[in-house]
Structure 1
Amino acid sequence: MKAILTALFFIIFTQLSSAQGNTDTASSKKISKAEQELLDLSKLKWQWMSDKNVDKLGHFFHEKSVFVHMGGSWGKEQEVNVIKSGGIWYKKADIQEASVNIIGNTAIVLNKITLLAVVGGNEVTNPFMVTEVYVKEGDEWKLGSLSFTKLLTP
């Protein structure tokens, strides 16, 4: 009986050690030029939002884009107006993880971030998983959807 328990322990320990060694498959995967372009574009978007650069954002957001926040959802025009007026000021997005999946002319970028923002005059910090959906029109990627999911743990 002792030999069986020892063997089971060894098998479980070996499996756990093996699984822990492969927890970060996204970072070990070689990314393509298009994937890197999207990750760079996503990062640039956060900077434009921080800078309140509504001219670049207005061009970058698809005409039919949608934005999902903790307090509601709306389209391109309202998002640009919210940024321009300072209703939401995306001061700093600290990106902990980022990944991209391209499916034809659509790309999905996931960003795990800690967002420092000013909302309604109050400075807040929240951990989010942000889903960004991009569509390729001609040679340009346009942001079609930006959705914030608040994480329970930072």
Structure 2
Amino acid sequence: MKKLLLGLCLALSGIQISFAQSPADQEIIKLSKDKWQWMANKNVGTLDSLFHENSMFVHMGGSWGKQRELGVIKSGGIWYKKADIHEVSVNIIDNTAILLNRIDLLAVVGGNEVTNPFIVTEVYVKQKGTWKLGSLSFTKLLTPGN
């Protein structure tokens, strides 16, 4: 019985360890969280440094590149007021990080305040020791909490 209990405890502690985030995962999660705040603050200077020159952005109304995204943020065409992040996962493959966020996004679009549930896919590429956002893609969920 003691051996069984000890084995169960070791197995459970191993499971907890497997869910631990690596320093690189933590770095990407923090960068993503900071990005949401920079977008809310319309901090296009910082975002310009973060976004890769060839980055792509996919929204419910279309897709476009870096300069248009920065223009949309600066003009308030889309004001990302607040992203409530519910779940985050990160997969790193060589110099590429794929982050998935499940969020509720409060935004002003075309002068109307809206809240939508999304899965957001962010792809980061590490170049010369710095992570750059290569893609940001919004997938609207049919119902909140899914």
Identity %, equivalent residues? 72
Runs of 4+ residues deviating >3 angstroms: 25-28
Alignment partner, residue 140 of structure 1: 130
1:42 matched residue in structure 2: 32
> Which deviations, in whole Å up to 9, do the C-alpha atoms of 1:47-82 show, x marking residues without a partner?
000000000000100000000000000000000000
Per-residue CA deviation, residues 29-56 of structure 1 (Å, 9 max, x unaligned), is 0111011000000000000000000000
**Partner of 2:108 in structure 1?**
118
1:104 paired residue number: 94
Unaligned runs of 5+ in 1: 1-24
Paired amino acid for 1:44: D
Letter in 1 for 2:65: G
Counterparts of 1:96 and 1:26, CA distance in 2: 20
Whole-Å Cα distance in 1 between the matches of residues 32 and 16 of structure 2? 17
Q: 1:85 aligns with which of 67, 75, 85?
A: 75
Number of positions where the alignment pairs a residue of Structure 1 with one of Structure 2: 131
Cα separation, 2, equivalents of 1:150 and 1:58:
25
Q: TM-score, normalised by structure 1?
A: 0.82
Write the letter of the residue equivalent to 1:120.
Answer: G
Q: CA RMSD in A?
A: 1.7
Aligned residue in 2 for 1:20: none
- 1:56 paired with 2:46, answer yes
Question: Residues of 1 paired with 2:119 and 2:75: CA distance?
Answer: 25
